[in-house]
């Protein structure tokens, strides 16, 4: 079942479809995620989801960023919105856990879907591009959630 979220982006109302999760008050965030970025563990446990209100807040912050940015919404301004979310997160928590990073990318993909930028295959390819760019840009602050512990990305190199 889907929950509809209406936001105003550059003066136009758009509807973002949020897939409700099996856990009360949660949404599945990974609808547009490239398979390479899905958890490899038990598929039922591995379906990325988050608190509905937190995800709406993430989307709303990115929409606000896009509305304040000069020019049209494009694939590259969407990437800028992801970077902005990650920078704010790092300023607040002094680190960025990969699961948080993926949730910010997921939020941006939901906005892109509502704008009808890409088909499903293109969305997954763009997700892969965004993840790669975001990992490269924020590698200094990125921690990986292994399921057992957090490991700093730079410690793996």
DSSP string, 23-73: STTEEE--TT--GGGS--S-TTTTS-EEEHHHHHHHHHHHHHHHHHSSS--
Burial of 146 (0-12, 13-18, 19+ CB in 10 A): exposed
Confidence grade of residue 157 (pLDDT, cut at 50, 70, 90) = low
What is the rounded average pLDDT of the residues 35-44? Answer: 58
Model confidence pLDDT, tens digit, residues 49-67: 789 999 999 999 999 999 9
Instruction: Tell me the residue range of the domain where 140 lies.
Output: 1-153
**Mean pLDDT to the nearest integer, 90-106:** 95
Q: How confident is the model at residue 44 (pLDDT cuts 50, 70, 90)?
A: very low
Q: Domain total for the chain?
A: 1
Question: What integer best gives the mean pLDDT of the chain?
Answer: 90
């Amino acid at each position: 079942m889907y929950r509809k979220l209406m936001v105003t982006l550059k003066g136009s109302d758009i509807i973002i479809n949020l897939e409700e999760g099996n856990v009360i008050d949660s949404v599945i965030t990974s609808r547009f995620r490239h398979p390479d970025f899905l958890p490899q563990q038990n598929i039922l446990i591995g379906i990325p989801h988050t608190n509905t209100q937190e995800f709406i807040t993430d989307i709303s912050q990115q929409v606000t960023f896009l509305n304040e940015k000069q020019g049209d919404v494009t694939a590259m301004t969407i990437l800028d919105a992801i970077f902005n979310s990650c920078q704010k997160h790092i300023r607040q928590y002094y680190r960025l856990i990969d699961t948080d990073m993926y949730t910010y990318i997921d939020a941006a993909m939901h906005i892109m879907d509502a704008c009808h930028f890409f088909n499903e295959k293109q969305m997954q390819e763009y997700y892969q591009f965004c993840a790669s760019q975001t990992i490269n840009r924020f590698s200094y602050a990125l921690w990986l959630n292994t399921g057992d512990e957090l490991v700093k990305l730079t410690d793996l190199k």
